[in-house]
Amino acid sequence: MTSSLKPLRALSLLAASVAFAQSTEPVFRVDVDLVRLLVTVKDADGRLVGGLDKSDFLIADDGVAQDVAVFERHTEQPLSVALLVDTSGSTAKDLKYSVQSASRFLRALVGEGNPRDALALFTFNHDVTLRTSFTRNPSRVERALDHLQAEAGTSLYDALILASDTLTGREGRKVIVVVTDGGDTTSYRSYQDALRAVHAVDAVIYSIVVVPITNDAGRNVGGENALITLSRGTGGQTFFPSVGPALDAAFTGILEALRTQYLIGYYPKPQPPASGAFRKVAIALKQGGLRPFARDGYYGR
């Protein structure tokens, strides 16, 4: 069933309705001091690197070196993916191509990964709409994708906040994939509100900015830069494909990154931050030529 909610009303309604999932990894559920980082590593040529050990990573919390307490290579923690599709008026020309690529992404996600992986579909224009709650049923999501229409403005930040709220309490890894053609124009909430909401649930943002126009004229360059910063700050990545094979390749790149993620956890010393305070995190690798991608901080709980 499709439900269209105003952003602010949607946030309060969903916050009240989300229940905590039962976890097969109790240490992550009950030990609130444990800081979890989802990390992908690339070499100098941009290839994903998946064979590293715990001893290869250096973690600093507010400038203080940390001891790694939890380490999983190619973690099998289940994925909860919130897929956000821009249906503002400016996407009308290419929306059908985004929908086709998103459908293929969904089938690959549920067909190749953990049997507990699930996806929820949101659309956003001037309103934010939860099309399907978390499911492993591709047909259910594809039926919702088939009936999308492009109109009105772009409430990207409201969509990120609603998606983050829906991810609250989900077990395992939390990912937000945004498919859009530009920046925010109609949100009630701000960039900083969205960034804080995503950090609060430890979600990673992957942005796909569909850009049929190669020159700056007609593009929302400021909005694109905001998406780059949001993605980078949460440990994700931004893609700038045209429609067609390049768009499929962007979705494939996201899947490959998710399948090669490391899970790293540590107990911040000398002490965790105060509740609500933001703490910066830095990750480095002992081996030269490798670049880690992870969120750049977290909020005290």
Could you read off the pLDDT of 113-136 as tens digits, one per residue?
Answer: 678 899 999 999 999 999 999 998
DSSP 8-state code for residue 122: E
pLDDT, the chain, mean: 85
Between 224 and 158, whose confidence is greater?
A: 158
Query: Letter for the amino acid at 237?
Result: Q
Cα maximum dimension of the chain: 54
Check residue 239 and give its pLDDT: 92
CB 128 within 8 A of CB 14: no
Q: Looking at the predicted structure, is the pLDDT value of residue 104 above 70?
A: yes
What pTM value is reported for the model? Answer: 0.85
- Per-residue pLDDT tens for 180-225? 987 889 999 999 999 999 999 999 999 999 875 555 555 667 778 8
CB 104 within 8 A of CB 185: no
b/e code 32-53 from CB counts within 10 Å (16+ = b): eebbbbbbbbbeeeeeebeebe
Counting residues of the chain whose pLDDT is more than 70, the rounded percentage is 86
Q: Determine the Cα–Cα distance for residues 260 and 256; give it in Å rounded to an integer.
A: 6
CA dihedral sign, ordered 169, 171, 172, 177? negative
Check residue 212 and give its pLDDT: 55
At 251, which helix (H) or strand (E)?
A: helix 245-259
- Per-residue pLDDT tens for 240-282? 988 788 899 999 999 999 999 999 999 999 999 998 899 999 9
Closest CA to 125 of 76, 87, 78, 94: 87
Closest CA to 88 of 218, 215, 185: 185
Counting residues of the chain whose pLDDT is more than 90, the rounded percentage is 57
Looking only at the bridges linking them, the beta strands covering 173-180 and 79-86 are parallel
187 token code pair: 């949100």
Q: Determine the Cα–Cα distance for residues 46 and 38; give it in Å rounded to an integer.
A: 18
Q: Determine the Cα–Cα distance for residues 219 and 198; give it in Å rounded to an integer.
A: 25
Question: Terminal CA-to-CA distance of the chain, rounded, Å?
Answer: 34
Tokens 């008026």 belong to residue: 89
Between 276 and 59, whose confidence is greater?
A: 59
Q: Looking at the predicted structure, is the pLDDT value of residue 106 above 90?
A: no
